[in-house]
Amino acid sequence: MTLPPRAVLVHRRTELQELVDRHSTRGQAAFYLRTRGRRIEDLEVRHEAVEAAIGAVTSVIPADWHRGTVERADLPRFQFAPDDIIVAVGQDGLVANLAKYLDGQLVIGIDPEPERNPGVLVSHSPRAAADLLSAAAGARVELSRQRKPAGHRVDQLTMVVAITDDGQQITALNEIYLGQPTHQTARYSLRLPDGEAEAQASSGLIVATGTGATGWCRSAWLERKSSLVLPAPAERRLSWFVREAWPSPATGTALTEGSLASGQALTVSAESDRLVLFGDGVEADAVPLTWGQTATVRLADRSLNLLR
């Protein structure tokens, strides 16, 4: 007998909530915005849209299911169960922030503001929540039996992982950045899977998945007019770019972009006092890399299961 799943609703505090917290009262927050030519009413409309979406999802969770709610800032302390069904209500970035804390759980992305969000990862309307939860329950069973779910498509989005030589690691859905925490010149040695190596001084290294190929990675790709073919979100391949490599007698600019297939890795050895590794733009959750330390960056073993 299959036990009822737990639906875990993930959200983030709205701009209105953060602003009122910062200024103590709504009136003070409104005054702060008014002196800068903005209206608190605009934030209230957005806040109400998010609250309405959360309410719509919560109201259709089956009565016999278990329930959980977690705010984005509390994700590092929340314990997800293997059979949880995750409902992310918010912007696309919320799914990316969530991904590294999961290991095979099914995710539903709900977009409360379709007029503002691209909807790449949160592609569903709150009105579809009941059907999506029902489909997720069936898909969860099929995935546990290692079978392809019928009906709704489950995209298994590729992730990237960086592992340091002292065992620390960071996983990301979009990209991993390695460089100076100030984004100034980082010095390191880069080694490719074929053994080719180069000492570099640059603004850092980006290693991206197909999901991340629409963001920061794409900026680097467009800026240099690269002919590299970027991966698709579910493709088991990564793209990497060195930002603003600097030529000098001791550093080169020959190895600045490429792809990584399954089983391949980039190896980076720090030649600066302190470099950092962080994923999906969350620098507050960085892993340090000190002089002489080495990190390898490759495809992660796990993927994000996103219900389409």
- Residue 175, SS3 per DSSP: strand
Instruction: Count Cβ atoms below 10 Å from residue 262 Cβ, excluding itself.
Output: 10
Is there a contact between 68 and 9 (Cβ–Cβ < 8 Å)?
Answer: yes
Q: Which two tokens stand for residue 74?
A: 């509390």
202 contact partners, CB below 8 Å, separation of at least 6: 179, 185, 186, 242, 243, 244, 245, 246
For domain 160-302, the CATH class is mainly beta
292 contact partners, CB below 8 Å, separation of at least 6: 269, 270
Residue 146 predicted with pLDDT over 60: no
As beta bridge partners, residue 68 has 8
As beta bridge partners, residue 294 has 269
Q: Model-level pTM? A: 0.89
250-306 per-position pLDDT tens digit = 999 999 999 999 999 999 999 988 899 999 988 888 999 999 999 999 999 999 999
148-180 per-position pLDDT tens digit = 555 678 999 999 999 999 999 999 999 999 999
Q: How large is the C-alpha radius of gyration of the chain?
A: 21
The one-character DSSP state at 127 is: G
* Structural domain boundaries in the chain: 6-152, 160-302
Confidence of residue 145 (pLDDT cuts 50, 70, 90): low
Query: What is the dotted CATH code of the domain comprising 6-152?
Result: 3.40.50
